Structure 1
Amino acid sequence: MNECLVTVVGNIVTPPQRSRLPSGDGVTNFRMASTSRRFDRETQAWTDNRTLWVDVECWGELGGNVSHTLSKGDPVVVRGELYTHSWDTEQGRRSRPQIRAAHVAPDLARGTAEFRRTARPAAQAGPTGVPDDTAAEPPADDPWADRPTDYIEGEGALHEADSDLTGDRAAVPTLT
């Protein structure tokens, strides 16, 4: 297992495109750019440095959520496996970097977002009359599967919002 897991912060530069393969699997693809910045001592200003251009593929439910949520120009954080996609052309062998995303999120350092949980089908009762939870279990390769959670299926928000901190007031404690 020599996966090259990376986290890339940047902007979506092509509209996310959702495709359905003949096998029935869904995939969403987009291209992103991540430009590093550096401080130029001569001009005493920050300037753009090099840019990484990378294609991102999002499979299954993640891909559906990405195609319904994100657009060209959105700042994102992508985490997944980096690999080289290669193909043959008349001019010879070509390649480009690609990320098979495990996680995609809007970059909240650059804006706000509203989160809605994806509706999941209710567990069906098995032959014993007990709900069959196998469909609700995380995939075997889920790195978060063994982590404890305070989420209870069917419940509302995990924590109630403090009314003193909502509205126009900042949710930052003041020092006295």
Structure 2
Amino acid sequence: MHDVIVTVLGNATHDPRFTKPGAGAQSLYVRIASNASYFDQDTKTWKDRKTEYFNVYMSKKQAENVLLSVKKGDPLIVTGRLGTSQWTGEDGADSYSQTIQAEAVGLDLTWGAAAFARRSRRDAPAMDVRTGEVLDDSRLAALRAEAGEVPTRAESAPAQAGEREPERASAQEESELVGAAPF
């Protein structure tokens, strides 16, 4: 059987949240609302279609980047595997929701501008995927030791005297260096 792959445009209805905090491996999700307008030729007016809601799930590095980048109200473009979830509500009735297991999440630049900032492993805050907690260096080292991971050369080598990280231009400085768009 084949997966149903969809691309949905919509707005985030809340800031991204972790599913089931503190309960094993988890993922990040954000709910998006997608609606469209159409021009009714009979009445010569614009009308809104029914709003559709989707729960969008993601994990690992994608979840970290979405957590840092997306806020409530942001216009998003999401591509991923479509599915449904079923649960029993408080009234005992079965309820359903549409879900998307995200392959890609991005900001819809039809409505604004954004600057892409590639994150290196050094820039990325270490997060506990079970709780969403940002880990300090000692806690991260302890978790890696428990998992039997070997630290990378950069993590294990102390900084040499006088050695400095290369300086990067700020996002504003980078945009000023690029100049105005040619269109």
User: What TM-score comes out, normalization by structure 1 length?
Assistant: 0.64
Equivalent residue for 2:113?
A: 112
1:171 aligns with 2:182: yes
In the TM superposition, residue 51 of structure 1 has moved relative to its aligned partner by 1.4
1:18 to 1:6, Cα distance in 2 relative to 1, 3 A: same
Task: Point out which structure has higher relative CO (alpha carbons under 8 A, 6+ apart).
Answer: 2
Which whole-Å deviations, capped at 9, do the CAs of 1:108-146 have from their partners, x for residues lacking one? 11111111112137xxxxxxxxx9xxxxxxxxxxxxxxx
Equivalent residue for 1:144?
A: none
Equivalent residue for 2:128?
A: none
Equivalent residue for 1:56?
A: 56
Flag structure 1 segments of 5+ consecutive residues without an equivalent. 122-130, 132-155
1:29 aligns with 2:29: yes
In the TM superposition, residue 33 of structure 1 has moved relative to its aligned partner by 0.7
What RMSD over aligned residues (CA atoms) do the two structures have, in Å?
2.7
Letter in 2 for 1:171: P
Percent of residue pairs bearing the same amino acid type? 30
Larger proportion of strand: 1
CA distance in 2: counterparts of 1:37 and 1:112, whole angstroms: 23
Query: Which aligned pairs between 1:77-156 and structure 2 lie closer than 5 A?
Result: 77-89=77-89, 91-120=92-121
User: What TM-score comes out, normalization by structure 2 length?
Assistant: 0.62
Corresponding residue SS for 1:118:
coil
Letter in 2 for 1:166: G
CA distance in 2: counterparts of 1:18 and 1:112, whole angstroms: 27
In the TM superposition, residue 22 of structure 1 has moved relative to its aligned partner by 3.9
Equivalent residue for 1:4?
A: 4
Letter in 1 for 2:54: V
Corresponding pairs, count: 131
Query: Which stretch shows the higher mean deviation, 29-38 or 69-78?
Result: 29-38
